[in-house]
Structure 1
Amino acid sequence: MKTFAEFEINTDIMKGLDGLGFSVMTPVQEKIIPIVLNRQTDLVGLAQTGTGKTAAFGIPLIQLTDTRLKRTQALVLCPTRELCVQVAGDLNLMGRYVQKLKIVPVYGGASIVSQTEELRKGAQVVVATPGRLHDLIRRGAVDLSGVSWVVLDEADEMLQMGFQDELNAILAVTPDSKNTLLFSATMPREVAAIAANYMKDPLEIIVGRRNAGAENVDHIYYVVSARHRYQALRRIADMNPELYAIIFCRTRLETREIVDKLIEDGYSADALHGDLSQSQRDHVMHKFRSRNIRMLVATDVAARGLDVNDLTHVINYSLPEESSGYTHRSGRTGRAGKKGISIALIETREKHKIRAIERCLKKNFEEGRIPSGHEICKRRLLSHMEAVKKTEIDAEHIDPFLPAISKTLESLDREELIKRFVSMEFNRFLASYRNAPDLNTFEKTPPKKKTREAAAGKPYRLASRKKFTPLFINAGKKDGISPKRLMRDLSDAAGMPDVRIGRIEVNNTTSLLEADSRFAPKILQALKSLTINGRYVAVEIDRKTAIRNRPENRRYDSSTAKDRRKGQSRPA
């Protein structure tokens, strides 16, 4: 690998790099820095987040900036406030010994008045989010007519966040003579369109493989039923005592539900979602970066632009809609040459999504086995014992108390002392995994002999060893019901979380749930007072009765029907 000293980098910049501990270049820096320094050309850089892209474009931009001029000469666009602040901070650190260099970040959530004032004083480099910069352009508060370099950092994320129109508007007011540097982890069609429309014969620099994930990441998936997904998450966390992870969910409601459960179960966790104010978001991220919390539960939108070092795991509690979304998620671990693990919790029917992601990443996933309670307890106990062995002893302060301690414990032999010590530390933990069930889901295999239906060419069902009774509920999708929500509400109301559940169907106005026939009468009795979203619902074995009990399907007398036709419906 080459060093920064091998290139013609200004001594003031080298001084800043030395202060940051930068000496050896990363592959992306080695490829891009000499091109930007020595050639007037557009460039597309395909590389994962965390590979050193900021220094790759930042060092040459600082060196090429004429600090004698106050006008804006370089523009860096970032998808999120966090990344904008981070990039501006990194550029300031690299150029802190360069006289009269001024770098100004502009982003939403901060005072636009103070940002306008900073721009008015002069800024050679502007680092901005598309939304705020577009607003400043419309107000006439920023002049981009003298820009020589435009950097689109994490362009694929900017487009996924819906900034296509803002990017078009911003690039339209920059000079045709500028050079554009586009950096992206993936190359979807929209990013390729930006390159085609706004760049002139760009060089393409690929670090790793196109659309590939980080090289140092192992990919593992666990097949688990929906009702056991949270318990599987807990077991993964307990099996990895040094876990420092982002847990990705699909919705903000899901993030809140999981965080509430994790905190209730004693884990250090917090949520990051779109309902948080900027100050709340900053507070959560400060706790996570300082490791006061070890698990950050987030949606894709909320986590975009985050750059957190040394993550051990990325956990996909729910798979993203697109394979490229998984690439972004998994790329947040395994950085700077360190190993990382990306985990996906899936149901059997989602295996095809794993295969699609494998094709996109050109990597094979390992199918993992959810650890048993015994395995977790053994792992945690031994891990704690290793920590005890490595604990430094402050003999000077402890020795005076040893005689009293020894006298207190003299009635205990060595084995009993160890057992008591372990019990004091782990009784609650051991109790939580006593008689813990196997959470792994295995695919059913078809019977060896064909049934008469199969022999006749008809599809067959596997015979179930357990009989299920269908329960029809007069609430569905339009009432905010989902299979997961339905299972949770039913198990909570019935007070029987371990009842076996069969098929679940949620339609617009009704739902079906098959429950273990042995408990069906007890479930029906318990669910007489079930409420969902604040209203009572009916649970019936007969589907017609459930449909009839929906409020809009109740019978009305003739006068009510007359009122309905007038738009003044009145329930009987």
Structure 2
Amino acid sequence: MIQTFAESGLQVDILDAIQELGFEQPTPIQAQTIPFLLNSRQDFIGLAQTGTGKTAAFGLPALHLTDVEDKQTQTLILCPTRELCLQITSDLSKYSKRMRGLNVVPVYGGASIETQIKALKKGAQIVVGTPGRSLDLIKRKKLKPHNINRLVLDEADEMLSMGFKEDLDAILENTPEEKQTLLFSATLSKEIARITKKYMNNPEQVSVNPRNTAAENVSHIYYMVQAKDRYQVLKRLADVNPDIYGIVFCRTRQETKDIAKKLMEDGYNADALHGDLSQAQRDEVMHRFRNRQLQILVATDVAARGIDVNDLTHVVNYNLPDDTDAYVHRSGRTGRAGKKGLSIAIVHSREGRRIREVEKVAGVKFTKGTVPGGKEIVTKQLYAFIDKVTQTNVDEKQIQPFMEAIYEKLEPMSREDLIKHFVSAEFNRFLDYYKDSRDINVSESNRKQEKNGPKARKTRTGGGKIKFSRLYINLGTKHKLNPTRLIGLINETLRSRDAEIGKIEILKNFSFFEIEDNLTNKLVDGLIGKKFDGHPILVELSEAKKAGGRNKGNRRPRTKKRR
């Protein structure tokens, strides 16, 4: 293990470039990986979280070992998203800026394949690509991986979770057996283990974080409120943090669109990132976010994969993800480069159990926060504005021609009146909005009353309990259905996020879920003729009480059609 980059053995051109970038001491994954890759052709597995410096860990040795006189592709780097592809390319270009004759080419979907083909023809010693576009170029014989020395699988767990298993298998089968394979992942899942067993030979394994735990310099806070108050919490958090620069994670595309639209309509510097955007629209949003022209980016987990921004102050979980690993990935986007970060969860009054689960699995400790009230928010905004005014640079030459008229207009005012008008002009909006603001925090007593979940729930129109219907759907894990995607399907079909959804059971070939009875007909009718990833959807009212028993083995349960 090395203590400094200077003792790594990297060539001088690379050391000079990374020194200019401010690289001094390697991160743990870099300290263990770089010397190994410089001195060994053995396959390698690196287990480390997002933001730990994996790109430099595999990228610096790849640059060092590249023969710049040979224009053929020597290293192929595969990653899950276009954003990460471009980020890796950008980083490698910075590290190699003093290496003459070296060419790094990114290939990804959503951009002109002809342009990428031209770039490959000019010679590309290192190619960074997404699996789909890389395989397309291989089939066209434009990307030639048959003689590569190194194959890097970055964020391998994400590529598999996004459905690139078949593409990866096809690419790996087109690469030489004697190459060195490097696999980097946050987790070591069964599918990752399958790849290592099938395509890797006696790999060396380095684990920086043995468990999928969250970063130590990230604080975790949850705010417990009623579901209807989630958006109010988000607004108050943005208002009490005038310099917020963060990502808000939502479950579904529709929710992402809705929240971003509300924020923009309410005057916040926000925008959305989701799967319905064209590549040009995604590029525009990410350009503005990286340049801090946007303060808040509202995104789904899938759309946010590959975003690499180091200075995020906040990550806000508008909904907790169903997968704890997803929470770790989300929270790991803040608190980077030695800085402090804040991961916030806005939870429903009956989600206390989920907080405990995340704490246990991710190895974090949540603090219960108090949603700020109007007085606290206005005070914070006022002080932030005063600080901004006092720190503003004054250009005497530019404002001098106007000063005489300004003095004349303000002369009747006393110093005290001037300050009052000055503050009121800026803050009347906040003062009016928050003057009668209510306390939206859920007390422990309310939480205890509701801890039994659906059995304690009231209807929105009165004091009775909500009646649930149990439905069968002909989709399961085989069709890549999970609770998040099922909830998204329900919300999109009903065009609402207000539906009460009860227990969800995802099986291999089909699933069960509960929904409030008065929405059953609307949901069933709305799904008629629809498809899920190309598979026709069938939803029926189920008579079965449980998925087990006589339906064991995933046999189709008895159902009756809803009239």
Give the TM-score taking structure 2 as reference length.
0.79
**After the TM superposition, which residues 251-266 of structure 1 pair with which residues of structure 2 at under 5 Å, given as runs?**
251-266=252-267
State the alpha-carbon separation in 1 of the partners of residues 100 and 195 from structure 2: 35
State the alpha-carbon separation in 1 of the partners of residues 448 and 291 from structure 2: 55
**After the TM superposition, which residues 297-316 of structure 1 pair with which residues of structure 2 at under 5 Å, given as runs?**
297-316=298-317
Radius of gyration: which is bigger? 1
CA contact (8 A) 1:222 1:345 kept: yes
Give the TM-score taking structure 1 as reference length.
0.78
Q: Which runs of 5+ in 2 are unaligned?
A: 450-454, 472-489, 501-514, 527-563
Answering whether residue 176 of structure 2 is matched by residue 175 of structure 1, we say yes
Counterpart residue type for residue 100 of structure 1 = G
Aligned partner of 2:520 in structure 1 is 509
Answering whether residue 236 of structure 2 is matched by residue 223 of structure 1, we say no
Answering whether residue 497 of structure 2 is matched by residue 484 of structure 1, we say yes
Aligned partner of 2:147 in structure 1 is 146
Counterpart residue type for residue 64 of structure 1 = L
Aligned partner of 1:529 in structure 2 is none
**Percentage of pairs with the same residue:** 51
Counterpart residue type for residue 377 of structure 2 = I
Aligned partner of 2:107 in structure 1 is 106
Q: How far apart are 1:238 and its partner, in Å?
A: 0.5
Aligned partner of 1:441 in structure 2 is 442
Q: How far apart are 1:94 and its partner, in Å?
A: 1.5
Aligned partner of 2:376 in structure 1 is 375
**CA deviation profile, 1:492-531 (whole Å, cap 9, x unmatched):** xxxxxxxxxxxx93555359xxxxxxxxxxxxxxxxxxxx
Aligned partner of 1:18 in structure 2 is 19
**Among residues 463, 467, 474, which one is paired with 1:468 in the alignment?**
463
Counterpart residue type for residue 509 of structure 1 = T
State the alpha-carbon separation in 1 of the partners of residues 104 and 96 from structure 2: 9
Aligned partner of 1:322 in structure 2 is 323
Q: How far apart are 1:190 and its partner, in Å?
A: 2.4
Q: Is the alpha carbon distance of 1:447 and 1:378 closer, same or farther for their aligned partners in structure 2, counting shifts above 3 Å?
A: closer
Aligned partner of 2:336 in structure 1 is 335
Counterpart residue type for residue 432 of structure 2 = A
Answering whether residue 225 of structure 2 is matched by residue 212 of structure 1, we say no
Local SS of the residue matching 1:76: strand
Counterpart residue type for residue 281 of structure 1 = R
State the alpha-carbon separation in 2 of the partners of residues 446 and 362 from structure 1: 24
Counterpart residue type for residue 59 of structure 2 = G
Q: How far apart are 1:467 and its partner, in Å?
A: 6.2
Q: Is the alpha carbon distance of 1:309 and 1:399 closer, same or farther for their aligned partners in structure 2, counting shifts above 3 Å?
A: same
Answering whether residue 3 of structure 2 is matched by residue 8 of structure 1, we say no
Aligned partner of 2:196 in structure 1 is 195
Local SS of the residue matching 2:387: helix
Local SS of the residue matching 1:66: coil
CA contact (8 A) 1:446 1:462 kept: no
Q: How far apart are 1:227 and its partner, in Å?
A: 0.8
Local SS of the residue matching 1:341: strand
Local SS of the residue matching 2:263: helix
Aligned partner of 2:431 in structure 1 is 430
Aligned partner of 2:532 in structure 1 is none
CA contact (8 A) 2:457 2:465 kept: no
State the alpha-carbon separation in 2 of the partners of residues 236 and 45 from structure 1: 37
CA contact (8 A) 1:478 1:508 kept: no
Aligned partner of 1:95 in structure 2 is 96
Q: Which moved more, 1:174-183 or 1:54-63?
A: 174-183
Local SS of the residue matching 1:332: coil
Counterpart residue type for residue 505 of structure 1 = E
Q: Is the alpha carbon distance of 1:53 and 1:467 closer, same or farther for their aligned partners in structure 2, counting shifts above 3 Å?
A: closer
**After the TM superposition, which residues 267-306 of structure 1 pair with which residues of structure 2 at under 5 Å, given as runs?**
267-306=268-307
CA contact (8 A) 1:478 1:509 kept: no
Q: How far apart are 1:347 and its partner, in Å?
A: 0.5
Count of aligned residue pairs for this structure pair: 485
State the alpha-carbon separation in 2 of the partners of residues 60 and 479 from structure 1: 47
**CA deviation profile, 1:242-295 (whole Å, cap 9, x unmatched):** 100111111111111111111111001111111111011101111111111111
